[in-house]
A and B are shown apart, each in its own frame.
Chain A
Amino acid sequence: MAQNTRTVPAGTPTNVTQKHTKGGIGESTLRPDGTLKVTGEFAYSSDMWHEDMLWGQTLRSTVAHAEIVSIDISEALALPGVYSVLTYDDLPAEMKNYGLEIQDTPVLANGRVRHHGEPVALVAADHPETARRAAAKIKIDYRELPLVTDEASALAPGAPLIHEGRDDHHIGHVPHPNIVHRQPIIRGNVEEARKRADVIVEGEYTFGMQDQAFLGPESGLAVPSEDGGVELYVATQWLHSDLKQIAPVLGLPEEKVRMTLSGVGGAFGGREDISMQIHACLLALATNKPVKIVYNRFESFFGHVHRHPAKLYYEHGATKDGKLTHMKCKIVLDGGAYASASPAVVGNASSLSVGPYVLEDVDIEAIALYTNNPPCGAMRGFGAVQACFAYEAQMDKLAAKLGMDPVEFRQLNAMEMGTVMPTGQVVDSPAPVAELLRRVKSRPLPPERQWESAGEGADVRALPGGLSNTTHGEGVVRGVGYAVGIKNVGFSEGFDDYSTARVRLEVINGEPVAMVHTAMAEVGQGGITVHAQIARTELGVTQVTIHPADTQVGSAGSTSASRQTYMTGGAVKNTCEAVREALLEIGRRKNGSYHPAWATAELLLEGGKIVTDGGEVLADIAEILGDEAIDLELEYRHHPTVPFDLVTGQGNGHVQYTFAAHRAVVEVDTELGLVKVVELATAQDVGKALNMLSVVGQIQGGTTQGLGVAIMEEIIVDPKTAKVRNPSFTDYLIPTILDTPTIPVDVLELADPKAPYGLRGMGEAPTLSSTPAVLAAIRQATGLEINKTPIRPEALTGTL
């Protein structure tokens, strides 16, 4: 495919800065897939269709922890229209597990299920309803086992081990085999520092299990190919990571599993793990027919990992003049039955547990448990969200105890460039924490009790209860709350995090056209929009084609960790620079003798021409290129990181830090416990906004997911059975347009000199501080101490 593959290290100095090109970076260009998406033509993974296609169905466990005594598939196989029924015994390869970091997840249950909804058998049939009915005819005899559901039951003497005989690389340092990973961070001397504290606050906080609730359910189409391999069209966040997990369990070499990204209906971390990919391939290979699997919403709640629920125990001290003295915390994340991304979530939760504050004396411990609860892994914010909810509650408690303004207290302790993190890592680029708080605070507040001044014109829909018409203002009180958070960008702790971009420049119909080919998963975030912008800026062309994302090009890494514009955007920039240099080389060879500037001047590409930095046109790109095509595929890496020390937690583990602040204004109907978030103002530093329209859209979307987990979103797992009680959009609520307030956004652009264009990864930070800001506002409105999220009406009215 690519004519030339080589590695160029990140940060290769580029000696030219391309000038502005129409449709280049910094402009709010529109999505290249916008027209297809508004006309219904955009092909999502659930829209795929193939002649002779079968429908796949997963049968999932109805209990959380059990031995499988027997499976009887005979009735299912006998149903007309059923082509195949597969169980563990049918798996074709020696490798029968998969997993992001630890391969502990069975493709199909092997004699034991460890959580409610674990896949046990697969059916392929000619109609989805036939497949569903056949799955229902499979008889499974379970012998239930004792449950592990929390820290106490996981670590109790004689507790059942969720995974026996662990041989992963964390088992050597965890205190118990039901702990996936443990990361302590010790810096300074907490015992000494505590003596300096005039006030000490302690808190115990509970964070509920949040679902990504992307709207496009897990789905895809597997097509067997003539060479015995398979083509897979699927919605995912990282094609190459899927590939690495899929090929071994199919018993196929990676080159025989050809993956193409189909339309992705949102992700938010929920597509980082495998869902239906392997199952569809297995059924396609078993039947030699194309097989489509589409989860319904019920199954989707079992089909992907969730955000870790957590217990967080914090102690902070401060002097009477408002300076933090020390922090001690323990964060217990429930990883559920399989590891997924738990180890990395632990690393984030511990290393970011201090928040965006200066604290030199800390004693931190974060662990993730193995339990029989649903597996948890990646979701937007990734470990930093749970910590932010807790440390921001602590900041408010400290400020109250000191009689200080909560914003001024935060500003007094805010980190800045040069601050040393608890890991010993120096924050080496702008960290405008105090400024972000100043910006949200200085915004005028929405008018109070507007229903009184508006009289007859009062719109009841803007009040708590909304369309339910439950109040006209009586019993309604207002509160205002603030929060700020810190998130890392990119994959940390020594992970070899790279992205690949292929760029082809050629002349089509007399015009230079750039084609950008990456494996980046466009999940809605707008990565493809900025890739085209980058190519226009770097190559001075108007026309850019985005090649479909597939595994025919090198890995682009995951669309997660706020990393894609930095990493794959950086890769596109890097490859474009190499293409530009190759073009100029051809120009020097062909035309160098005609004009001395070819050798002496800095040359730029602008408006389809090669020009000197003084603006003199030397040639048309099309003329220089002629019939030649420049086609390069290069890898791009951020600066290296190191793992955190397993005892002290020290190490330059993170790539870049990113910050956002929120001010929430809420109105609470204290009689019914109904909350209306009136406004959720936010400020964020993005380094450089490559596309402001997309940046603001990300901030508003992330903010709303944070609002959701503050007041409504939680997967309820019955502690007695470890079964999920609300796997539907009727029972798991996400914010509607009526629940969502206006979200004014203030964007700062303080460049990080290490990053492409100075940009700062920005997709996750707004999800952090949104939740604690809303909760702080509710606390202020009601005077209640709220230590759990989400906060429900029954808790606000004291009826719980």
Chain B
Amino acid sequence: MRVNFTVNGRQQEADDVWEGESLLYVLRERMGLPGSKNACEQGECGSCTVRLDGVPVCSCLVAAGQVEGRDVVTVEGLAEFSKQREQHGHGGACGAGGGCGGKGGVTLDAAKQWQAKPAGDSQTGEGVELSTIQQAFIDAGAVQCGFCTPGLLVQADALLEENSSPSDQDIREALSGNLCRCTGYEKILDAVRLAAARQGEAV
């Protein structure tokens, strides 16, 4: 079947989609957006969390056909989504989401190059525009292996959109559907607190 939907502000069309494919599969394997991760495929880990018409969902549990005509934001579009929200007071329509239009995955050349960027890159943020929550995850040490990070970022960003100064228990509740095996969550809490504080300062 054919599925038409908006991903990170761009209209996309996926052809030859098998009815059993999930939104996650279509994003990762057909749209060239492997940022959303597949760690359990049953909605337990939250690694595949995306915004579907603004609502955070596990994209592994959404059938591809269900997104016909709807709007999806993935981690690849999070910086732009957040920027649009700051500028217009809402997210949704955004421009460059990165990666859209390719057939799927990361090419070998790109994969080989991942470490070849200057080692100081993430400290300077040179050439990459990040949302507040993305920068806070780097600064607070909330990223180790990083596999849970995309889902956590989408979920945490949605939390801060709803609640600009969450309590620790609010953060824990909001992120309780996202498993992380590396960090023990302390630095993820730090990151969300940091992002909330920075957003507060910016207002």
Q: 8 Å CB contacts to A: which residues of B28-61?
A: 28-29, 33-42, 44-45, 47
Q: Give the interface segment out of A46-54, A617-625, A751-759.
A: A46-54
Q: Is the CB–CB distance between B42 and A729 below 8 Å?
A: yes
CA–CA, A665 and B34, complex, Å: 41
Interface size on B, residues (CB 8 A): 81
Q: Is the CB–CB distance between B150 and A697 below 8 Å?
A: no
Q: 8 Å CB contacts to B: which residues of A221-252?
A: 221, 223, 233
Is B141 an interface position by the 8 A CB rule? yes
Q: Is the CB–CB distance between B149 and A37 below 8 Å?
A: yes
| Residue numbers in A under 8 Å from B180 (CB-CB) | 215, 737
Q: 8 Å CB contacts to A: which residues of B81-127?
A: 98-99, 103-108, 110-112, 114-123, 125
| Residue numbers in A under 8 Å from B103 (CB-CB) | 49
Mark each residue of chain A from 716 to 732: 1 if its CB lies under 8 Å from any CB of chain B, else 0: 00000000000011100
- Measured CB to CB, the closest approach of chain A to B171, in angstroms, equals 8
Is A494 an interface position by the 8 A CB rule? no
Is A296 an interface position by the 8 A CB rule? yes
B141 interface neighbour in A35, A47, A542, A696, Cβ under 8 Å: A696
| Residue numbers in A under 8 Å from B179 (CB-CB) | 215, 729, 734, 736
By Cβ-Cβ distance, the 7 closest A-B pairs, closest first, are: A40-B35, A49-B105, A524-B145, A37-B146, A265-B147, A700-B184, A34-B122
CA–CA, A338 and B190, complex, Å: 42
Mark each residue of chain A from 8 to 37: 1 if its CB lies under 8 Å from any CB of chain B, else 0: 000000000000000100001111111111
Q: Is the CB–CB distance between A215 and B36 below 8 Å?
A: no
A32 interface neighbour in B75, B108, B117, B176, Cβ under 8 Å: B117
Q: 8 Å CB contacts to A: which residues of B169-184?
A: 169, 171-173, 175-184
B183 interface neighbour in A29, A264, A268, A700, Cβ under 8 Å: A700
CA–CA, A32 and B143, complex, Å: 11
Is A492 an interface position by the 8 A CB rule? no
Is B76 an interface position by the 8 A CB rule? yes
Q: 8 Å CB contacts to A: which residues of B63-82?
A: 74-76, 78-79
Is A451 an interface position by the 8 A CB rule? no
Is B186 an interface position by the 8 A CB rule? yes
CA–CA, A782 and B181, complex, Å: 29
CA–CA, A697 and B182, complex, Å: 8
| Residue numbers in B under 8 Å from A459 (CB-CB) | 167, 169
Binding site for B on A (CB under 8 A): 23, 28-44, 46-50, 127, 129, 212-217, 221, 223, 233, 260, 262-268, 294, 296-297, 459, 461-462, 466-467, 523-526, 528, 532, 542-549, 693-694, 696-697, 700-705, 728-730, 734-738, 740, 742-743
15 CB contacts below 8 A, A to B, read: A23-B120, A30-B123, A30-B141, A35-B130, A40-B36, A41-B114, A44-B147, A49-B107, A215-B145, A459-B167, A526-B144, A542-B120, A548-B115, A697-B184, A742-B186
Q: Is the CB–CB distance between A47 and B34 below 8 Å?
A: yes
Is B26 an interface position by the 8 A CB rule? no
CA–CA, A217 and B145, complex, Å: 12
CA–CA, A32 and B144, complex, Å: 11
Q: 8 Å CB contacts to A: which residues of B127-178?
A: 128, 130, 134-135, 137-139, 141, 143-150, 153, 167, 169, 171-173, 175-178
| Residue numbers in B under 8 Å from A693 (CB-CB) | 141
| Residue numbers in A under 8 Å from B150 (CB-CB) | 38, 40
CA–CA, A737 and B155, complex, Å: 13
A697-B183, A729-B39 are known; give 12 further A-B pairs, CB within 8 A: A28-B141, A38-B143, A39-B35, A41-B35, A216-B145, A233-B111, A265-B39, A693-B141, A700-B183, A734-B179, A740-B184, A740-B185
CA–CA, A41 and B148, complex, Å: 13
- Measured CB to CB, the closest approach of chain B to A774, in angstroms, equals 13
- Measured CB to CB, the closest approach of chain A to B39, in angstroms, equals 4
| Residue numbers in A under 8 Å from B184 (CB-CB) | 697, 700-704, 740, 743
Is B200 an interface position by the 8 A CB rule? no
CA–CA, A59 and B173, complex, Å: 39
Q: Is the CB–CB distance between B182 and A32 below 8 Å?
A: no
Q: Is the CB–CB distance between A127 and B18 below 8 Å?
A: yes
| Residue numbers in B under 8 Å from A461 (CB-CB) | 169, 172-173
What's the dominant secondary structure at chain A's contact region?
loop
Known A260-B112, A524-B182: A39·B122 in contact at CB below 8 Å: no
Q: Is the CB–CB distance between A129 and B119 below 8 Å?
A: no
Q: Is the CB–CB distance between B145 and A266 below 8 Å?
A: yes
Known A216-B37, A547-B115: A738·B28 in contact at CB below 8 Å: no
- Measured CB to CB, the closest approach of chain B to A275, in angstroms, equals 16
A528 interface neighbour in B33, B115, B120, B185, Cβ under 8 Å: B115
Q: Is the CB–CB distance between A547 and B104 below 8 Å?
A: no
Is B189 an interface position by the 8 A CB rule? yes
Q: Is the CB–CB distance between B187 and A48 below 8 Å?
A: no
CA–CA, A595 and B119, complex, Å: 35
- Measured CB to CB, the closest approach of chain A to B117, in angstroms, equals 7
CA–CA, A44 and B48, complex, Å: 14
Q: Is the CB–CB distance between B183 and A33 below 8 Å?
A: no
- Measured CB to CB, the closest approach of chain A to B102, in angstroms, equals 8
Known A37-B143, A215-B147, A216-B145: A266·B182 in contact at CB below 8 Å: yes
Is B23 an interface position by the 8 A CB rule? no
| Residue numbers in B under 8 Å from A214 (CB-CB) | 145, 147, 181
Is B196 an interface position by the 8 A CB rule? no
Q: Is the CB–CB distance between A39 and B134 below 8 Å?
A: yes
Q: Which residue of B lies closest to A548 (CB)?
A: B115
Q: Is the CB–CB distance between B116 and A728 below 8 Å?
A: no
Q: Is the CB–CB distance between B119 and A297 below 8 Å?
A: no
CA–CA, A215 and B149, complex, Å: 11
| Residue numbers in A under 8 Å from B130 (CB-CB) | 35, 38-39
Is B7 an interface position by the 8 A CB rule? no
B172 interface neighbour in A297, A704, A738, Cβ under 8 Å: A738
Q: Which residue of B lies closest to A462 (CB)?
A: B169
Q: Is the CB–CB distance between A262 and B39 below 8 Å?
A: no
| Residue numbers in A under 8 Å from B107 (CB-CB) | 49-50
| Residue numbers in A under 8 Å from B40 (CB-CB) | 297, 728-729
| Residue numbers in A under 8 Å from B137 (CB-CB) | 34, 38
| Residue numbers in B under 8 Å from A127 (CB-CB) | 18
CA–CA, A703 and B185, complex, Å: 11
- Measured CB to CB, the closest approach of chain B to A733, in angstroms, equals 9
Q: Which residue of B lies closest to A549 (CB)?
A: B115
CA–CA, A532 and B121, complex, Å: 12
| Residue numbers in B under 8 Å from A543 (CB-CB) | 118-120
Interface centre among A223, A266, A547 (most CB of B within 10 A): A266
CA–CA, A260 and B116, complex, Å: 13
Q: Is the CB–CB distance between B148 and A547 below 8 Å?
A: no
| Residue numbers in A under 8 Å from B139 (CB-CB) | 30
Q: Is the CB–CB distance between B120 and A737 below 8 Å?
A: no
Q: Is the CB–CB distance between B111 and A43 below 8 Å?
A: yes
Q: Is the CB–CB distance between B122 and A31 below 8 Å?
A: yes
| Residue numbers in A under 8 Å from B108 (CB-CB) | 48, 50, 221, 223, 233
Q: Is the CB–CB distance between A700 and B186 below 8 Å?
A: yes
A217 interface neighbour in B38, B115, B183, B186, Cβ under 8 Å: B38
Known A462-B169, A736-B176: A48·B39 in contact at CB below 8 Å: no
Interface centre among A23, A36, A47, A294 (most CB of B within 10 A): A47
CA–CA, A188 and B20, complex, Å: 66
Q: Which residue of A lies closest to B79 (CB)?
A: A39
| Residue numbers in B under 8 Å from A296 (CB-CB) | 38, 41
| Residue numbers in B under 8 Å from A742 (CB-CB) | 186
Q: Is the CB–CB distance between A33 and B146 below 8 Å?
A: yes
Q: Which residue of B lies closest to A127 (CB)?
A: B18
- Measured CB to CB, the closest approach of chain B to A346, in angstroms, equals 26
B116 interface neighbour in A40, A547, A704, A705, Cβ under 8 Å: A547
| Residue numbers in A under 8 Å from B20 (CB-CB) | 129
CA–CA, A794 and B55, complex, Å: 37
- Measured CB to CB, the closest approach of chain A to B154, in angstroms, equals 10
| Residue numbers in B under 8 Å from A50 (CB-CB) | 107-108
Q: Is the CB–CB distance between A129 and B18 below 8 Å?
A: yes
A42 interface neighbour in B120, B146, B169, Cβ under 8 Å: B146
- Measured CB to CB, the closest approach of chain B to A696, in angstroms, equals 7
Q: Is the CB–CB distance between A548 and B181 below 8 Å?
A: no
